[in-house]
Amino acid sequence: MKKIIALGGSNSKNSINKTLAIYAANKIENTEVSIIDLNNFELPLYGIDYETAHGIPENAVKLSHQIEDADGLVIALAEHNGSYTVAFKNALDWMSRIDIKVWKDKPILLLATSPGARGGTIVLESAKTYFPFLGGNVIAGFSLPNFYDTFLENQITNVELKLELIDKIHLFEQVLNDK
């Protein structure tokens, strides 16, 4: 059985991206899903002066090890002003000090959602470009627009979007199973 991580790129306690990541990860067959909540990995704001004085925080090391132990990642990114949330970017920055290949060449199903019509597409496209530099093997990307209208009772209600995500999940499963 393959181990995958579901991660929402937000520190919101009610993160819609974490909800989407968990939903998608639970659709992947023959896997054991671990949920990573960034709130469980509190980190000081990255800065070279802090790192020089205190070293790399234990939570960054723990998060990096969890990623290393996984076979694949389902990451859903929240978008703040067209970019990553501060909590997510800060975790990336700290983990990159341990190993620039933050994602350890793991296959990634990359997702984004938002309450608006664009569904986090700006941050999704940015991550598709950036993650390979951090050792990310992005298999597929999916954006769910209008979260509060298209995701009800723990289901995607728009049939076309639901089928699109299922197709992306199948691509991810193929790569995961070939690993």
Q: Quick one: what percent of the chain has pLDDT higher than 90?
A: 98
The rounded mean pLDDT for the chain is: 97
Mean pLDDT on 66-70: 98
The candidate with the shortest Cα–Cα distance to 114, out of 92, 88, 83, 147, is 147
Mean pLDDT on 16-25: 98
Q: Give the pLDDT score at 179.
A: 73
Mean pLDDT on 98-114: 98
Cα–Cα distance, 24 to 31 (Å, whole number): 12
Q: Give the pLDDT score at 76.
A: 98
Q: Give the pLDDT score at 176.
A: 95
Query: In which band, very low, low, confident or very high, does the pLDDT at 113 lie, cut at 50, 70 and 90?
Result: very high
The candidate with the shortest Cα–Cα distance to 82, out of 124, 111, 144, 116, is 124
Residue 78's Cβ-count burial label (10 Å; 0-12, 13-18, 19+) is buried
CATH fold of 2-178, please?
Answer: Rossmann fold (3.40.50)
Alpha carbon separation from 151 to 10, 33, 89, 146 (Å, rounded):
18, 21, 26, 8
Per residue in 143-176, pLDDT (tens digit) is: 999 999 999 999 999 999 999 999 999 999 999 9
Cα–Cα distance, 39 to 41 (Å, whole number): 5
What residues form DSSP beta bridges with 75?
7, 110
Query: In which band, very low, low, confident or very high, does the pLDDT at 3 lie, cut at 50, 70 and 90?
Result: very high
Q: Look at phi and psi of residue 135 and say left if phi exceeds 0, alpha if psi is from -120 to 50, else beta.
A: left
- Ordered by start, the domain boundaries in the chain are 2-178
Per residue in 33-65, pLDDT (tens digit) is: 999 999 999 999 999 999 999 999 999 999 999
